Structure 1
Amino acid sequence: MTGAATLLSDVFGFDAFRPGQEEIVHAVAEGENVLAIMPTGGGKSLCFQLPALMREGVTVVISPLIALMRDQVRALQEAGVSAGALTSGNTPEETDAVWEALERGELKLLYMAPERLAAGSAMGMLRRIGVSMIAVDEAHCVSQWGHDFRPDYLRIGELRRTLNVPLAAFTATADIETQAEIVQKLFDGQPPRAFLRGFDRPNIHLAFAAKDGPRAQILNFAAARKGQSGIVYCGTRAKTETLAQALREAGHGAIHYHGGMEAEDRRIAERRFQQEDGLIVVATVAFGMGIDKPDIRWVAHADLPKSIEAYYQEIGRAGRDGAPAETLTLFGPDDIKLRRSQIDEGLAPPERRTADHGRLNALLGLAEALDCRRKSLLNYFGETDATCGNCDLCDKPAEVFDGTTAVRKALSAMLRTDEWFGAGHLIDILLGNRTDKITQRGHDSLPTYGVGTEYDKRQWQAVFRQMMGHDLIRPDPARHGALRMTDAALPILRDEATINLRRDSIRSAGTNRRPAVKEMVSEEDTPLLSALKAQRRALAEAARVPAYVIFTDRTLIEMAENRPSNLDAMAGISGVGAKKLERYGDTFLQVINGAVNDVHPTRRKLAGRVAGTVYDQLMDAQAQLARGSGGTDKPLSCSASQLAKVAQMRSADAVALERLLGERRAERFGAAFLAVLSGA
């Protein structure tokens, strides 16, 4: 079994594992049943791809999206790994190539959608090809509690029993209910070895803002990040189209995506987003799961997500390469009403509706947080030890005030109108506005009429929105969205508790300032990074693959900052494995340095390894002795392959050298070569 560290370096081009990866890789490679819950962008794929190379036989990967499977297969093939996918999106030639590789016993990873398991022939085929392991990506899809339930995932447990092979399941978000259902459905209730990695993505900047001209807020956010790939999530299909149009009119490359589009149009949109640098996609939540583009630099929500898990999953699509990424989530009272009504009017059983309100409450608590957002987010996932410095509230602490009196006035207005009205009418009562609606109902004679003139209409809107955010009031679908108190409001109403509110959220939103952009590289390195991206784009278009399959942004940034001067230095760049060094090394060195020195193919294969340096030292020693120690003997030299073998010798002595080089060469070079090897 080839070592994990060797494969990590030679195939994937990484010097070290990310936190938590190594122990998962070893458990999977040893054939243990594994459930790994890792943050989005935490390197889940490597945790089954690397063990697949360490084990005999074929690893079957069950994955939910064709686009994701195709991209992972392309990336593996670029790294020199024999991988294939059997999907409905294959050309006949692609399918034939997969079958031929399987028949030859060469294929290491076979990707399939869960729906393919429904075909009667699938089980027989998998029994015949020598499957040694099953990997399940996006394993939460097996659960009714998960947010992307796929019934065909339920067949995977039967597949594991039939093949009698170990199974490794991976997901980014799974609460207690989802974890329990994964164990039941995939592992027959027998707990696998579980790995719960930290949920923190410290490279992602978190920010929320109350809606105040939301289209302008999104346009300003995008303008400050022009040329960077981003996603804007919207609550409706219509909004994706109008906002994408507004972004295009503002000079951005932008497309829309939603579930109502024709399947071919959706595929075109997915392909464009994967392959084009700097494209923005404005989408509903139909877009996202399985998007593996590592250089998405920002994610914005034009509308509030449906839960804290959905929020975490969606922002997690940014910055998967580990480089800085930014988020902005807009929210308002209409969002909160919509999400509440969707839960209340859904067909889920009562316990599920209660749980969904709890998930929404957690997100609203994050939106209305008074201190560090990262701590609030990680606390929800059970992590109490969080350091941040990378959210809007750490950048600028919230301005808060004691809102107890204001909240009591608002609750009183609701109670005195029998909880039959929305925020607009209640605010008119508090401000003493003599509207037709108020006079017709006699609400101008209520004790609460005109008692709230210390705030204006916008400030009262902020109070009501924050009351919804703290789950003190909820819209009642049976009363057409009229606001009703929850039990959480009673202690405040009875003077048994107080509450702080944010004073700054509406005011700061109203300024519509452009947020500062975190530059990817220094000003000095920016032109080189642009040139490297242009070269990458040309290669990607020629190969018809996403740009990041050639090299990720993070790899290009490291090239721009370190400016490697030769193949050895290029091999030390993170993400440059042996196959990519061979294929693209000279091309990118040319961009960086303007010229590339010729390197013998044998020496090229040793680039970035200790043996490469030893090879160079052996060449120098040979040059000094080419005509013997006195410089008068007949010229003699070793072949490049002989020198490479000497450079890679683990235990060298005179006998071993003579066996490799022959008597004449060993006599002339042996002592010098042994001196080089002893110092290596």
Structure 2
Amino acid sequence: MQELTQLLKDKFGYETFRPGQQALIEKVLAQESALGIMPTGGGKSICYQLPALVIDGLTLVVSPLISLMKDQVDALNEMGIAATFINSSLTGNQINERLQQAARGEFKLVYVAPERFETYGFQQLLKQIPVGLIAVDEAHCISQWGHDFRPSYLKLAEVITHLPQQPAVIALTATATPQVAEDILHCLQIPAQNQIKTGFERKNLAFQVVKEPKDTYLLEYLRVNRGQSGIIYASTRKEVERLFALLQSKQIKVGKYHGGMNEQARSESQEAFLFDQIEVMVATNAFGMGINKSNVRFVIHAQIPGNIESYYQEAGRAGRDGLDSDAILLFAPHDLQIQQFFIDQSELDGAYKQKEYLKLREMSQYGHTQMCLQRYILRYFGEDCPDCGKCSNCLDEREVQDITLDAQKVLSCVKRMGERFGKSLITKVLTGSKDKKVTQWQFETLSTYGLLQSWTQSDVTQLIDFLTAEGYLNPEEGQYPILKISNLGIEVLKSQRKVMRKQAAVKTLVVDDALFERLRRLRSQLAQEQNLPPYLIFSDQTLHELAEKQPQTTLEFLQIKGVGENKLKKYGELFLAELKEA
């Protein structure tokens, strides 16, 4: 072990191993196959790079991305470790030359794409080269339950298990649900007891769900955090281009990255980001895997991604250096339609599409839940943790109200409709709609018909989304899921459990009246100077909320009802100065 710690210090510059690293390395050195599940930034690469220096023979590293291979090989060569890669960016002659060098033992590590294992020539070569270790990076790609399934990974598993020398296999991933982990173990014939999981929790990340107008919030966030490095993800090339143009017009040092750009343009953009020549990268999910930039302070998703695995992997690119960083989702329910369209248009078979719809629904519920956001994500991966105390839900100080009766009305309606319909029709029944589907099924005769007729359909839909996100209702698989009552929901129906929800508190004027008057005087003064009616500057409601919440920063100020980007620019500093004197 002393020798390994010395190698860690001499070659990689670290004094001690991170959680999970030592256990995985010991398994591999004992020639046992192992699966490592560690969060993004958890130091997965060292788990095979260090053993490669000790093990006899070649270490083959299976990696799905060309940019990732080049980054890793450059870093290893910089440390004096002989490594190379073989992928489609090379000519046939270059590939043959590197393979011959590998056969002569000139490299300790060779990075290859999974597709390479499908070629007969490469399979034959593997029988002649002494391979001591095979590292399978992004191992979740092997599972049909994974968010990034690749058939070439399945072929790779088949080839590995038939190699004559049977080298140890180390599989590594940052995003594996229990089901995906089981698949990896099975496909690569790894003993279950050799799964080492360090936990997915990222204590330095503050997760936020923001439902403000996107552009306004984004511009203000970037203004407040000017000089910091960050990534903004969007789902479509069109939205990447739009946001890029918007930020450029505000003199923000911004780059863009998406599949519609040529390789050189993408490469230049990535390089500029890595070298801090630009501060913000606006990109589709084509950007980021294998980017080892440690000082990314924020990752903002301007549109909702398709599943929690992708979201957590992308969000996890913030704060790899362990410093406090933000992971923000700008949540707008209509963005779900984009992801739904991607699934609809995909060439996946029916069963696989159903899985993708299910994952999208879990992601949607992340936007609706009032649970601690870190805890919600970890629960999805089969873990639990205490509330993080720093996400937007943990810091939400809205009043908690007992909504058990309203929840019972919804659950009772689901029950009386036979648990055979989705939220759209349930909403119509509860609000007393005369829609033809309601009458066609004779649901107007139900005792629950119109129970929430004083509510808007939008508010009832949000209540159903909340009950689903909190686990009182279970959606079945499918594009238009039907809702069934969970065991938790049954407890609520039987009045054995209460349902609590954070609500905007309805308050009488328990605000600082003196402060409210001072804000009114400032408003009057500004109105006089500009010859405007005072209410056009800010309404009384806005002043009351300012007096009640007393925001201290421009971002907090922006979240007050009635404050937009323009008014923030014109009046923000003056009102914030007044509030700071309070």
TM-score, with length taken from structure 1: 0.62
Counterpart amino acid of residue 186 in structure 2? Q
- Please report how far the alpha carbon of residue 449 of structure 1 lies from its aligned counterpart in structure 2 after TM superposition: 8.0
Q: What corresponds to 1:34 in structure 2?
A: 34
* 1:340–1:475 Cα contact (<8 Å) kept: no
Change (3 A) 1:468 1:72: same
* 1:220–1:514 Cα contact (<8 Å) kept: yes
Counterpart amino acid of residue 122 in structure 1? F
Q: What corresponds to 1:174 in structure 2?
A: 176
- Please report how far the alpha carbon of residue 75 of structure 1 lies from its aligned counterpart in structure 2 after TM superposition: 0.8
- Please report how far the alpha carbon of residue 450 of structure 1 lies from its aligned counterpart in structure 2 after TM superposition: 12
Change (3 A) 1:407 1:242: farther
Counterpart amino acid of residue 117 in structure 1? F
* 2:411–2:485 Cα contact (<8 Å) kept: no
Change (3 A) 1:398 1:421: closer
* 2:231–2:298 Cα contact (<8 Å) kept: yes
Change (3 A) 1:148 1:269: farther
Secondary structure of the structure 2 residue equivalent to 1:80? coil
Q: What corresponds to 2:240 in structure 1?
A: 240
**How many Å separate the matches in 1 of 2:256 and 2:410?**
40
* 2:233–2:302 Cα contact (<8 Å) kept: yes
The range that moved more, 106-115 or 455-464, is 455-464
1:218 matches 2:198: no
**How many Å separate the matches in 1 of 2:148 and 2:107?**
30
Change (3 A) 1:166 1:464: closer
| CA RMSD of superposed structures (Å) | 4.6
Counterpart amino acid of residue 184 in structure 1? H
Secondary structure of the structure 2 residue equivalent to 1:394? coil
* 1:412–1:448 Cα contact (<8 Å) kept: no
- Please report how far the alpha carbon of residue 405 of structure 1 lies from its aligned counterpart in structure 2 after TM superposition: 5.2
Deviations 1:572-598 (A, max 9, x none): xxxxxxxxxxxxxxxxxxxxxxxxxxx
Secondary structure of the structure 2 residue equivalent to 1:206? strand
- Please report how far the alpha carbon of residue 426 of structure 1 lies from its aligned counterpart in structure 2 after TM superposition: 6.3
Counterpart amino acid of residue 215 in structure 2? R
Secondary structure of the structure 2 residue equivalent to 1:27? helix
- Please report how far the alpha carbon of residue 7 of structure 1 lies from its aligned counterpart in structure 2 after TM superposition: 0.7
The range that moved more, 486-495 or 270-279, is 486-495
Deviations 1:197-255 (A, max 9, x none): 2111112111112x331222223333332232222222333212111221222222223
Counterpart amino acid of residue 161 in structure 1? H
Secondary structure of the structure 1 residue equivalent to 2:394? helix
* 1:84–1:110 Cα contact (<8 Å) kept: yes
Q: What corresponds to 1:56 in structure 2?
A: 56
- Please report how far the alpha carbon of residue 324 of structure 1 lies from its aligned counterpart in structure 2 after TM superposition: 2.2
1:71 matches 2:71: yes
**How many Å separate the matches in 1 of 2:379 and 2:430?**
38
% identical aligned pairs: 34
Counterpart amino acid of residue 172 in structure 1? A
* 1:361–1:469 Cα contact (<8 Å) kept: no
- Please report how far the alpha carbon of residue 52 of structure 1 lies from its aligned counterpart in structure 2 after TM superposition: 0.3
Change (3 A) 1:469 1:259: farther
Q: What corresponds to 2:328 in structure 1?
A: 328
For 1:109-120, what aligned pairs fall within 5 Å after superposition?
109-120=109-120
Change (3 A) 1:130 1:400: same
Secondary structure of the structure 1 residue equivalent to 2:296? coil
Q: What corresponds to 1:303 in structure 2?
A: 303
Q: What corresponds to 2:202 in structure 1?
A: 201
Q: What corresponds to 2:287 in structure 1?
A: 287
Q: What corresponds to 1:123 in structure 2?
A: 123
- Please report how far the alpha carbon of residue 413 of structure 1 lies from its aligned counterpart in structure 2 after TM superposition: 10
Counterpart amino acid of residue 199 in structure 2? G
Secondary structure of the structure 1 residue equivalent to 2:84? strand
Change (3 A) 1:493 1:373: closer
**How many Å separate the matches in 2 of 1:12 and 1:178?**
31
Q: What corresponds to 1:546 in structure 2?
A: none
Counterpart amino acid of residue 234 in structure 1? A
**How many Å separate the matches in 2 of 1:462 and 1:250?**
35
TM-score, with length taken from structure 2: 0.71
* 1:35–1:192 Cα contact (<8 Å) kept: no
Counterpart amino acid of residue 70 in structure 1? K
- Please report how far the alpha carbon of residue 171 of structure 1 lies from its aligned counterpart in structure 2 after TM superposition: 1.0
The range that moved more, 157-166 or 241-250, is 157-166
Change (3 A) 1:95 1:340: closer
* 2:369–2:470 Cα contact (<8 Å) kept: no
Structure with larger RCO (C-alpha < 8 A, sep 6+) = 1
Alignment partner for residue 514 of structure 1, among 532, 555, 576? 555
Counterpart amino acid of residue 215 in structure 1? D
- Please report how far the alpha carbon of residue 388 of structure 1 lies from its aligned counterpart in structure 2 after TM superposition: 2.6
Counterpart amino acid of residue 77 in structure 2? Q
For 1:149-548, what aligned pairs fall within 5 Å after superposition?
149-157=149-157, 158-162=159-163, 163-187=165-189, 191=192, 193-209=194-210, 211-336=211-336, 356=356, 359-386=359-386, 388-404=388-404, 463=463, 466=466, 469-470=469-470, 486-487=484-485, 499-504=499-504, 514=555
**How many Å separate the matches in 1 of 2:404 and 2:476?**
21
Secondary structure of the structure 1 residue equivalent to 2:183? helix
* 1:38–1:172 Cα contact (<8 Å) kept: yes
**How many Å separate the matches in 1 of 2:188 and 2:231?**
33
Change (3 A) 1:344 1:495: farther
Change (3 A) 1:458 1:427: farther
**How many Å separate the matches in 1 of 2:489 and 2:385?**
32
Change (3 A) 1:282 1:60: same
Aligned residues: 499
Change (3 A) 1:400 1:359: farther
| Structure 1 runs not aligned, ≥5 long | 433-445, 517-680
- Please report how far the alpha carbon of residue 62 of structure 1 lies from its aligned counterpart in structure 2 after TM superposition: 0.8
Change (3 A) 1:29 1:504: farther
Deviations 1:403-444 (A, max 9, x none): 35556778999999x989969x969978x9xxxxxxxxxxxx
Change (3 A) 1:338 1:135: same
Secondary structure of the structure 1 residue equivalent to 2:162? helix
* 2:492–2:499 Cα contact (<8 Å) kept: no
- Please report how far the alpha carbon of residue 21 of structure 1 lies from its aligned counterpart in structure 2 after TM superposition: 1.0
* 1:143–1:181 Cα contact (<8 Å) kept: yes
Secondary structure of the structure 2 residue equivalent to 1:259? coil
Deviations 1:441-493 (A, max 9, x none): xxxxx99889766x789867754653564575989999xx8x97554598699
Change (3 A) 1:214 1:4: same
Secondary structure of the structure 2 residue equivalent to 1:198? coil
Counterpart amino acid of residue 61 in structure 2? V
- Please report how far the alpha carbon of residue 167 of structure 1 lies from its aligned counterpart in structure 2 after TM superposition: 1.2
**How many Å separate the matches in 2 of 1:9 and 1:36?**
22
* 2:241–2:256 Cα contact (<8 Å) kept: yes
**How many Å separate the matches in 2 of 1:282 and 1:100?**
41
